[in-house]
Structure 1
Amino acid sequence: MLKRLFRSRPAMQAAAWLIGTYIGLVYATSRWTLQGYDHVEAALKDGKGVILAFWHGRLLMAAAVRKQTDARVFMLISAHRDGEIIAQGVSRFGVEFIRGSAANPKKPGKNKSGASAIAQMAAALRENAIVGFTPDGPRGPGETLKPGVIRLAQMSGAPIIPAAYSVSRGKRLSTWDRFLLAAPFSRGYYVAGAPITVPAEASGETLDRIRADVEAALIAVTREADALAGRKTED
């Protein structure tokens, strides 16, 4: 009965409203510093769009970055019910959504939505948009880079910019992604790293090395954001 209740449209709408309201409260009551955003601005000047990659656990306040740019901002979101709730919750910030998940090459029979999502993201990048991507989502393992973001960068020519946020007040949850639940009245930091490109002709060991480089860069910017906020990464 409870499961049916929380799957109902009114319950989903209420959850979405709470999420959006909470994000707005945290953003409005906290002091935010952006570091490295010039990397995003410089990449947009090249006209190939930007793939903004961040760990799933740092998803909560990502939508607020929309306020920093005039470019269209898209976010890859799960086609499942939880993804729809999140999409409704943050739509007030002007973020547009692409439903699906990056295709898993190990499960070719389940790749129809993934292939469609990749195609939609590539189309958005051709329009010089920013596409948000959580390369360890939607189910983990946490902070382990899956190949979808590398494939998107290779086929589109858009650079991957590793990014993270952290806050001085908040709690990391006991979920697979160690989700950071930011608290109001915090000091918040957004950190973006240098762009990483994936050559169209890259294959084999080269792609493996780039995947490792992007994963290491994401770990580095996350630690940097935590350090600026006075937070231990594991807390």
Structure 2
Amino acid sequence: MKDILQSPFMQDLIAGTLVGYLKFCYKTTRWTIEGQAPVEAIWDGKGPVVLMFWHGRLHLGHASWPRDRGQPVCVLASMSKSGEVSMKINTRFGYHSIRGSSAKKSDPTKQKGGAQAFRELIRWIRGDRDTGGRCVAMTPDGPRGPSRVMTEGSLKLSQMSGAPLVVLGQSTKNYMEFKTWDRMRIPLPFSRGAMVWGVLPAIPADTDETAMEALRLQAEQALTGVTDRADEILGLVPQGAS
């Protein structure tokens, strides 16, 4: 059974089914949006940008970034078997994928496939003269957690590219929640939804280790803040407090 589930055919089937379901949910959700004006300025500026949302809200992220206006998006997919499905899902949503694991707090290159993946992310986010910068979307507590604890990979990417950090909190009133490390949520259709944006400046190139830790905590708190705010808009108890 395991071999069947990991076959290319089944992975395509799972990815296609999930993408179809999520698109249906997005279209039937009535969204309330906060804090989008600064992000619209980033879209219009066509520069590099790092987008972050917590791993537990991964299946809401595809509803956020406009393909017809925002920068082209690349997603970091893990080297695991589940990463194959994630890559197929990203492709169906029109996103580029780079395989590798999220960066460790101490060194963004010390993980499976990390060094090569990080170099590819840098090349991607910088873009070129014709297209301008691009977007890298990351779940900075993935793929293994702990939940809502940010690694330094996103910040290092910002530091090396000059890209601002965009934090995104999303929630839906109706959802399924799994008993996983990240308490993964899958939206249900015909619901109310909330999308809350925040923008942090690019990490300065000369940031030392002490300052980087302070900025990491600031970004972690900002991402948790917009995520909790999205829950509050819908009358939900913030996930971190429940």
Contact 2:174 2:188 in 1 (8 A): yes
1:136 pairs with one of 141, 144, 164: 141
TM-score when normalising by structure 1: 0.91
Give the counterpart of 2:193 among 188, 192, 195.
Answer: 188
Aligned to 2:168: 163
Q: Give the secondary-structure state (helix, strand or coil) at the position aligned to 2:206.
A: coil
Q: Which amino acid aligns with 1:153?
A: S
**Inter-partner Cα distance in structure 2 for 1:200 and 1:45:** 24
Per-residue CA shift, 1:56-108, capped at 9, x if unaligned? 00100211223363421111111222122122124222122121123437689
Name the residue aligned to 1:97: 97
The code of the aligned residue for 1:195 comes to L
Q: Please say if 1:6 is aligned against 2:11.
A: no
Q: Which stretch has the larger CA shift, 62-71 or 180-189?
A: 62-71
- Find 1:148's aligned residue among 153, 171, 180: 153
Contact 1:104 1:114 in 2 (8 A): no
TM-score normalised by structure 2 residue count: 0.89
The residue type equivalent to 2:84 in the other structure is E
Counterpart of 1:80? 80
Contact 2:108 2:152 in 1 (8 A): no
How many angstroms apart in 1 are the aligned matches of 2:38 and 2:103? 28
Whole-Å separation in 2 of the counterparts to 1:226 and 1:215: 17
Identity %: 35
- Judge conservation of contact 2:103–2:109 (CA < 8 Å) in 1: no
Structure 2 stretches lacking a partner, 5+ long: 128-132
Letter in 2 for 1:201: D
Q: CA RMSD in A?
A: 2.1
Letter in 1 for 2:41: A
Once residues 217 and 105 of structure 1 are traced to their aligned partners in structure 2, the CA distance between those partners, rounded to angstroms, is 18
* Structure in which a larger fraction of residues adopt helix: 1
The answer (yes or no) to whether the contact 2:34–2:196 under 8 Å persists in 1 is yes
* SS of residue paired to 2:144: coil
How many equivalent residue pairs? 234
Range with bigger deviation, 209-218 or 98-107: 98-107
Q: Distance in 2 between matches of 1:80 and 1:44?
A: 32
Which residues of structure 1 form unaligned runs of 5+? none
